[in-house]
Chains A and B, each alone.
Chain A
Amino acid sequence: MARMKFICDAERCIECNGCVTACKNEHDVPWGVNRRRVVTLNDGIVGAERSISVACMHCSDAPCQAVCPVNCFYKTEDGVVLHDKDLCIGCGYCFYACPFGAPQFPQAGAFGLRGKMDKCTFCAGGPEKDNSKAEIEKYGRNRLSEGKLPACAEMCSTKALLAGDGDVLSDIYRERVMRRGRGGDLWGHATAYGRPDTKPAGAALPTAPAVAQPAAQKS
């Protein structure tokens, strides 16, 4: 099997935030922590607005793992990047290293004290025993051990967000691009999945069609 991956098709995402809600609900994520969020670019510009759902991309060469001073990250044999909350000291280095802003820190007390890092687990739980109370409390549900894909992707109404084996996702995406004849660029793909010795391809914005700009944009 290849590696577990997410891809988000910006041509399809309608910024419904269903993935965000599904994730929050599935894992009982506390207030202030967003394992997944939807980012919209060119908001309000007709024809150029694009949304993309962002969470941990489970990088092949994960920078969070590289900078962690206590080495609390590990990668499963399926390529899912997970961490051990019993080791995490909440230093925040991973937050600075991550190009996607995936690591989240719950406020643990007064004076802005940070708690242990929390991030998307690809619905694969953590190092505790699968589906144990400890695992659910610390990392949320473990859907992968139930033979299910992450809740965010399975919930996505337009199937903009896809999750699963990288090879299967490539096939699905390729077929889509062939049928619609455009939108072959995937934002963040080169950053997350490119080899460390290759330069990111620079996923550029799709060219906006020539349309009248809103009044606010003209001034």
Chain B
Amino acid sequence: MRTGIAVFACLGSAMLLSACGEQPQTIAAKPGQSAAKEGDKPYNNDLFKNDKNAWQLQLRARADHQNEYKRVN
């Protein structure tokens, strides 16, 4: 009888505690995880001569040009 109660208590507690072992199942990209070889910097060429600022200014001017309110008015 005692053995039965002990076994029942063990099984019961194991069942009750089983949820405590659940691991989070969400994933997210981790920086530095990629196995890909990364390409050249887009400003490291003959046109921009590794001048990141010049490249950024050029792209900003292009992006600004999409605003027709600025172009028209």
A-to-B contact residues, CB < 8 Å: 1, 61-62, 65-67, 70-78, 82-84, 86-87, 124-131, 135, 142, 144-149, 153-154, 159, 162-165, 168-169, 171-172, 175-176, 179, 196
Contacts of B36 on A, CB cut-off 8 Å?
71-74, 82-84, 87, 127
Chain B residues within 8 Å of chain A by Cβ, number: 30
Determine how close the nearest CB of chain A comes to the CB of B54; give it in whole angstroms: 8
Contacts of B40 on A, CB cut-off 8 Å?
129-130, 145
Contacts of B68 on A, CB cut-off 8 Å?
159
Let me know if A130 and B42 touch, CB within 8 A: yes
- Determine chain B's interface SS by DSSP, over half rule: loop
Let me know if A148 and B37 touch, CB within 8 A: no
Let me know if B42 and A163 touch, CB within 8 A: no
B residues 31-55 in Cβ contact with A at 8 Å: 33-45, 47-48, 55
Partner of B63, one of A62, A74, A168: A168
B-to-A contact residues, CB < 8 Å: 27-29, 33-45, 47-48, 55-56, 58-60, 62-64, 66-69
Let me know if B27 and A71 touch, CB within 8 A: no
Q: Closest B residue to A129 by CB, please name it.
A: B40
Determine how close the nearest CB of chain A comes to the CB of B50; give it in whole angstroms: 12
Determine how close the nearest CB of chain A comes to the CB of B70; give it in whole angstroms: 9
Let me know if B39 and A82 touch, CB within 8 A: yes
Contacts of A144 on B, CB cut-off 8 Å?
42, 59
Let me know if B34 and A71 touch, CB within 8 A: yes
Partner of A130, one of B39, B56, B59, B66: B39
Instruction: Give Cα A147 to B38, complex, Å.
Output: 19
Q: Closest A residue to B36 by CB, please name it.
A: A84
